Amino acid sequence: MAVIVQRPKGTQDVTPSQVYKWHTVEKIVKDTAEQFGFKEIRIPTFEETGLFVRSVGDTTDVVQKEMYTVSAKGDATFTLRPEGTAGTIRAMLENGVMNEGFPQKVFYILSCFRHEKPQSGRLREFHQFGCEMAGTASPSADADIIALAKSVIDRAGLKNIELNINSIGCPECRKNYHKALKEYFESSKNELCETCLGRLEKNPMRILDCKSPICSEIASKAPVILDYLCDDCKEHFEALQENLTAMDIEFKINPKIVRGLDYYTRTVFEFVTTDIGAQGTVCGGGRYDGLIETLGGQSVPALGFGMGLERLILTMEKQGCEFLMPETCDIYIAAMDKDAQKKCVSLVKALREEGYRAEYDLVGRGLKAQMKYADKIGAKFSMVLGSNELENDSAKLKNMKTGETVDITLGSSFVDCFSNELINLMFATEELL
C-alpha cells in the first residue's frame, strides 16, 4: 500500500537500523569538543530574519536564495536557521556568556535548513556540529580550532581528507582587493549571471563563490586575495602555518577559498574529500572578528567551524570506517502460559531496574514465534518459562550465539546470577576479538 503522505523533498529519515551511525559521530564530536575545553550550547531552531541578513550577508546565496522564512499573525518575520554561528553568537551575547572570561568556547549539534537542490551530501534539512571560540585574536587559536576539526576526522577513521587554508584578510585589505576584483570582472560583465551582476557593486568577492559554471570559469582567473594582504594579516597567516606545522597537521594553501558567508575575516579553511562527489567539503570554518560587534556586542575577535554530520557519515560509509555497534537486547524471556507470563513481567521489571535491556512477549505469540523474535532482535540470552520452571523456581538460560545453557534460579538472586552470566559472555567475546 502506498504511503499517503511522504517526507518533504531534501529531508531524510533516520530509522532504528541506521541510527547507530548517528550515535557514533555524535559521541565522537561531543567527546572531542569537550576534550578541547568546549561546552555545549543549545539555541532555537528559528531566529528573527534580520539576524541572518546582518551576519551572513545580503549578497550571499544563503540569504538571497536559500532561507526558509516564515511569519505568523502579529509576529515579526522569522527564519529557520541556515547555519549555526549567528544564532550561537546571539545567544552568547544575550545570555552574558561573553562576560565570563575569555576565551569562551562552545559547541553545538543542531539541524539547519537551506532551500537547495537536493543531491548526495546536500539536503534541505541537514545536521551540523559546530564549534565557536570568542575572545582571542591569536593565530594559535586558529590552529587549535583546526586541530579540533582534524581530531574529529581522525577519530572517525577518515583517510585522504585534505586541509585547505587561505586568508581573506581584514576589511582594510579587502578594500584594495575589491577594487581589483571589480576591475577584473567588469571586462566579463556581460557573461555574469544576474545574481553576480548585483554582487559586482556590493561585494565582488561573492562572485568567487558562485555555483554557475560560467561565473566559476571567469572567477578561476581572478586576482587572489593573498596578493593584497596587509602586513598584519600576512603575519597572522604565516603564524597560523607555523602553528599547524608544529602540530604536524598537513595543509595546502588554496587562495580560491572565500567561504559562502560574509562574516569571515582573515583565516578560512576547509577539509575536503573526493569520495562523496561534488559536495566534498566535510568541514569549513574560519575567523569572524567583526561578527560580535555587528550583532551589538563589543569588538571581540572570534572564530569557529561547522561540520555536516550527513557528509561525515556518508564519507565514513564510502571509506568503510567502523561505527559503534548498536546495543541489542540482553535477554528475552519467553512464556508458555499465563502464569509464566506473569513471572516474565516480574523478572523483566527487576532486570530493567538494574539497567539491563530485557524483553518479553507483548503480542501473544506461540513459543516458536517468540524464539524467532528473540533471534531477530539480537538477544544475547533467552529463557523459557513454563509450569515446570515455576514449580522448580529455576530455568535454563541460553546463550543465543553458542547454544549453551546454564541453570539459573528464578528467586531473589536471579538478577545477580544473570549479571554474572552476562559478564562471562562479555569476557568471552573480548577474548575472541
Q: What is the pLDDT of residues 304-341, one digit of tens each?
A: 999 999 999 999 999 999 999 888 999 999 999 999 99
Distance of CA 275 to the CA centre of its chain: 18
Nearest to 258 by CA among 308, 234, 291, 222: 222
Banded pLDDT at 3 (limits 50, 70, 90) = confident
How are beta strands 381-385 and 331-335 bridged, if at all? Answer: parallel
Distance of CA 255 to the CA centre of its chain: 27
Q: What is the DSSP letter of 66?
A: I
Burial profile 317-343: b = 16 or more Cβ within 10 angstroms, e = fewer: eebebebeeeeebbbbbbbbeeebbeb
Residue 40 burial by Cβ neighbours in a 10 Å radius (0-12, 13-18, 19+): exposed
Banded pLDDT at 25 (limits 50, 70, 90) = very high
Long-range (24+ apart) CB contacts under 8 A made by 1-8 are 8/124, 8/125
CB 39 within 8 A of CB 105: yes
Residue 49's H or E segment, with its range, is helix 49-56
> For 104, phi and psi rounded to 5 degrees?
-90, 130
Euclidean distance between CA atoms 96 and 117, whole angstroms: 38
pLDDT averaged over every residue in the chain: 91
Angle between helices 309-318 and 19-35 (to 10 degrees): 110
Residue 349's H or E segment, with its range, is helix 338-353
The number of CA neighbours under 13 Å toward the Cβ of 303 is 23
Euclidean distance between CA atoms 130 and 22, whole angstroms: 15
Residue 230 burial by Cβ neighbours in a 10 Å radius (0-12, 13-18, 19+): middle
pLDDT value at residue 147:
98
CB 330 within 8 A of CB 379: yes
Using DSSP's 3-state secondary structure scheme, residue 133 falls into strand
> For 403, phi and psi rounded to 5 degrees?
85, -5
Q: Select the highest-mean-pLDDT range: 73-87, 168-182, 331-345.
A: 331-345
pLDDT value at residue 261:
67
How are beta strands 302-308 and 125-134 bridged, if at all? Answer: antiparallel
Q: What is the mean pLDDT of residues 230-257?
A: 96
Using DSSP's 3-state secondary structure scheme, residue 154 falls into helix
Q: Where are the alpha helices (DSSP H) in 156-263?
A: 171-186, 194-202, 213-219, 231-246
CA distances (Å), 7 to each of 14, 82, 116, 309, 352, in order? 12, 20, 16, 20, 35
CB 281 within 8 A of CB 257: no
Q: For 267-311, what is each residue's pLDDT tens digit? A: 999 999 877 666 688 999 999 999 999 999 999 999 999 999 999
What the chain holds in terms of domains, given with CATH numbers, is: 19-170+230-318 (3.30.930.10), 331-427 (3.40.50.800)
Angle between helices 85-94 and 49-56 (to 10 degrees): 110
Top pLDDT among 370 and 217 is at 370
Here the cell at position 425 is 559472555
Count CB atoms within 10 A of the CB of residue 106: 22
CB 394 within 8 A of CB 380: no
CB 278 within 8 A of CB 119: yes
Question: What is the torsion angle, in degrees rounded to the nearest 10, for the CA atoms of residue 114, residue 307, residue 119 and residue 196?
Answer: 60
Q: For 215-234, what is each residue's pLDDT tens digit? A: 888 888 889 999 999 999 99
CA distances (Å), 90 to each of 44, 59, 81, 337, 402, in order? 11, 21, 12, 61, 57
| Amino acid letter, 392 | N
pLDDT value at residue 297:
92
Task: State pTM to two decimals.
Answer: 0.89
> For 112, phi and psi rounded to 5 degrees?
-130, 160
pLDDT value at residue 430:
46
Euclidean distance between CA atoms 154 and 137, whole angstroms: 26
Here the cell at position 264 is 569571515
Q: What is the DSSP letter of 64?
A: I
CA distances (Å), 108 to each of 131, 132, 306, in order? 7, 9, 9
Q: For 114-162, what is each residue's pLDDT tens digit? A: 998 877 778 999 999 999 999 999 999 999 999 999 999 999 999 999 9
pLDDT value at residue 433:
38
pLDDT value at residue 14:
94
